[in-house]
A and B are shown apart, each in its own frame.
Chain A
């Protein structure tokens, strides 16, 4: 083979090699990237409403007055709204007295260990039964197993007792009752 023939053959081989190299380079990935996802579904937000105050109405000096927790018109009523069947932690902060708006006089208020009812079936204070939750439970130690009702609501009913003194100043008395509710993750 003469010199030109050898050069042509060499050139052909080099061109073929370059073509093959180019093809093979196309098959090699320098890197690969995958995209995954993080996903979450946030459940219904929790809210609590003081639907009805604990109403003692008119009382007489020196005469204690009690409101039971099963009186539709006067028991304290709290509505807790959230994710159905979710576990919640609930707790009251109960006042030790109620006072005139100007603070000039106070009246003792008390809550017994049976003054609260927890109703997970969204009935009423007068119609709630044991199967709806916890009847006559301790407002200072509400049940740890409380859940939002399947329909997304649980009610808490509260009774109490006031003890006006014999020289209690006349007027309208009030005090804050605070119910705190939080999901417990169950």
Chain B
């Protein structure tokens, strides 16, 4: 009976000591003005234009990171093709993350990434390329980028 009490208490402590991880979107992936017929690339190093996400949680915990990436941006019934290369993502887990010189660079956003949260969490950047057609109708185009993170338990 005493053992059961200990197990219950341990279970309680274990669940309480595991805070949730949270993602904050700091910046969208912003291509700005695009000329018809001229592909435009935003690199992951481009401050204010590359997508930036911050993940907070338990320092030292391992998390899995997965993007759901669009293949087109949509606007007014038309599409612009998008390309994400297998080096378009970077991550920094340092307390003062650097977008221009990240700790982990040239990561593949199409695969599940696994990293440990640093003392200040983890920051991700994502670049991409838009390929408008020569006769691309003018206007605003958007697409959704979904980022999912989860503790791995390690």
Partner-B contacts on A (CB < 8 A): 6, 10, 13-14, 17-18, 20-21, 24-25, 27-46, 83, 86, 182-185
Residue of B at shortest CB range from A182? B37
Question: Which of these, B8, B36, B82, B138, contacts A38 with CB under 8 Å?
Answer: B82
Residue of A at shortest CB range from B64? A31
Cβ contact within 8 Å between A40 and B34: yes
A-B contact pairs, 7 of them (CB 8 A): A24-B16, A31-B148, A34-B23, A36-B146, A38-B143, A39-B140, A41-B141
SS class, residues of chain B in contact with chain A: strand
Q: Bound complex: CA of A45 vs CA of B55, how far in Å?
A: 40
Cβ contact within 8 Å between B4 and A10: yes
Cβ contact within 8 Å between A35 and B144: yes
Partner-A contacts on B (CB < 8 A): 1, 4-5, 8-9, 11-12, 15-16, 18-25, 27-38, 40, 51, 53, 55, 70, 73, 75, 80, 82, 128, 130, 132, 134-151
Cβ contact within 8 Å between A38 and B37: no
Q: Bound complex: CA of A28 vs CA of B18, how far in Å?
A: 7
Cβ contact within 8 Å between A43 and B1: no
Cβ contact within 8 Å between B146 and A39: no
Q: Bound complex: CA of A45 vs CA of B78, how far in Å?
A: 14
Cβ contact within 8 Å between B32 and A41: yes
> Given A10-B5, A17-B12, are A39 and B29 neighbors across the interface (CB < 8 Å)?
yes
Residue among A17, A20, A42, A182 with the most chain B CB within 10 A? A42
- Residues of chain A within 8 A (CB-CB) of B51 are 36, 38
Cβ contact within 8 Å between B150 and A30: yes
Q: Count how many pairs of residues, one from A and one from B, have CB atoms less than 8 Å apart in the complex.
A: 163
- Residues of chain B within 8 A (CB-CB) of A13 are 5, 8
- Residues of chain B within 8 A (CB-CB) of A83 are 35
Nearest-neighbour CB distance to chain A for B100, whole angstroms, equals 20
- Residues of chain A within 8 A (CB-CB) of B31 are 38-41
Cβ contact within 8 Å between B40 and A40: yes
- Residues of chain A within 8 A (CB-CB) of B150 are 30-32
Q: Bound complex: CA of A185 vs CA of B139, how far in Å?
A: 17
- Residues of chain A within 8 A (CB-CB) of B130 are 38, 40
Question: Which of these, B22, B137, B143, contacts A45 with CB under 8 Å?
Answer: B137
Residue among A25, A30, A43, A83 with the most chain B CB within 10 A? A43
Q: Bound complex: CA of A29 vs CA of B61, how far in Å?
A: 14
Q: Bound complex: CA of A33 vs CA of B21, how far in Å?
A: 10
Cβ contact within 8 Å between B15 and A25: yes
Q: Bound complex: CA of A29 vs CA of B1, how far in Å?
A: 31
